[in-house]
Amino acid sequence: MEKIIKCPETMSSRERVIRTFNYEKTDRVTIGYHANPGIHQRLKDALGVVTDEQLFQALGVDDRSISAPYTGPQIFTAPPNRRVDPLEGCLMRKVEHDTGYYWDFCDFPLQDAEDEDFEKFPVPNPDHFDYDQALAQAKSYEGKYGLYVGNAGTPDIINSNGRIMGMEDILCHLLTNDPAAMAFVNRRVDFQFGMMERLLDKCKGYIDFMWLGEDLGTQIGPMISLELYRNTLKPIHKKFADLAAAYNIPSIIHTCGSSSWVYEDFIEIGIKGVDTLQPEAVNMSPSYLTEHFGGRLNFRGCISTAGPLAYGTQEDVWNNCKETLEIMMPHRGYHFAPTHEIQDNTPTENAIAMYQAAHTLGRY
């Protein structure tokens, strides 16, 4: 059985997360984690744990998600050989590969949709969630961890609507400002905002940051123009950033691909951090990010899931983590984490080496 040797700790995870957002000195770097099911289970087996919480503790993960279970009527039904997201309505098919499987989006229900199709497509009611259960969950952590609401899918206009209508359609609708499609997009935004507002109100005093998401880049450049971002997406992002600020918590936004072209606008509307940070994408290397935004944005990620972690040796992983930490840590505000989720093609020993590096090399 493997074991990660943790560095001596002088503060709670919650204090560490809060101080990191404030660019203040911590005992060690803040640690985050997300992984695909296959490697997630292999890590449990290797570290001799059973539950997700035990794995988080073994790795030294500092944050925890708080959400409210859905209690409303069933909205969507999956067709044969498909899986459906119960709140979003996107359809998925199981695709197996050499290291496991993934659920691939398909059969887009609003692809080539008519106006009435957008009007009829259901969106959840934010009243149909158990916010008391969310509060109980938050209280159960007893102030030990940095707690957040939201995720990479909030509001995630391009990606989440692309799962429902296809990427080509959502990009065309955004560009042409199609009235019916945009009315649907805004209905979904209103639902997400309403749910987030209720969560924050119910769990006031327990939540430490808000997690948002919007994939804006390919590997080589922007997915949309800055003008389109400012006219259409920026007001929505500001609405959520303002909500976080109203509850005196920071917001961090997930941005895959080459996304630093929009970071000045994030700073302008009050977003405090950026997540994922794929270092192989254009203008996303640790040195580029710290040079242009160090001390003005928190950084979460930058340990590539498409580099040494997946294809190198344990020594390669160690060196990659060392280099990233040496560049990021002097600016404070760095949350050590993988780019998005650790993939199933990652050797288990490499994932363990990654987190051991955080504890050994991430000490202040």
Structural domains counted in the chain: 1
Residues 208-255 pLDDT 10s:
999 999 999 999 999 999 999 999 999 999 999 999 999 999 999 999
Q: Report the CATH number at residue 54.
A: 3.20.20.210
69: domain range? 13-73+112-361
Q: Whose CA is closest to 186, among 163, 161, 211, 208?
A: 161
Please name every residue paired with 28 in a beta bridge, in sequence order, or none if there are none. Answer: 363
Q: Whose CA is closest to 337, among 146, 67, 60?
A: 60
pLDDT at 309: 98
Residue 83 placed within a domain:
no
Q: Which residues 6+ apart lie within 8 Å of 55 measured at CB? A: 40, 43, 44, 47, 49
The three-state secondary structure class of 315 is helix
Tokens 């920026």, residue located: 234
Q: Tokens at residue 101, please? A: 């499987």
The three-state secondary structure class of 92 is strand
Residues 88-105 pLDDT 10s:
999 999 999 888 888 999
> Cα(59)–Cα(30) distance, rounded to whole angstroms?
11
Residue 174 placed within a domain:
yes
Strand-pair category, 83-84 with 63-65:
unpaired
Residue 5 placed within a domain:
no
The b/e string for 186-210 (b: 16+ C-beta within 10 A; e otherwise) is: eebbebbbebbbbbbebbeebbbbb
Residue 19 placed within a domain:
yes
Question: Other CB atoms closer than 10 Å to residue 158's CB: what's the count?
Answer: 20
pLDDT at 100: 83
Residue 104 placed within a domain:
no
CA distances from 139 to 62, 170, 206 (A): 16, 39, 7
Strand-pair category, 91-97 with 83-84:
antiparallel
Residue 342 placed within a domain:
yes
pLDDT at 101: 86
Percent of residues in the chain assigned helix, strand, coil, to nearest 5:
45, 20, 40
pLDDT at 99: 83
pTM: 0.97
Residue 204 placed within a domain:
yes
Residue 146 placed within a domain:
yes
Rounded mean pLDDT for each run of 10 residues along the chain, 364 residues in total: 92 98 98 96 98 98 98 96 97 91 94 98 98 98 96 96 98 98 98 98 98 96 97 98 98 97 98 97 98 98 97 98 98 96 97 98 96
pLDDT at 330: 96
Strand-pair category, 91-97 with 100-106:
antiparallel
Say which amino acid occupies 107: D
What does the angle CA 153 – CA 157 – CA 158 come to, to the nearest 5 degrees?
105
pLDDT at 97: 86
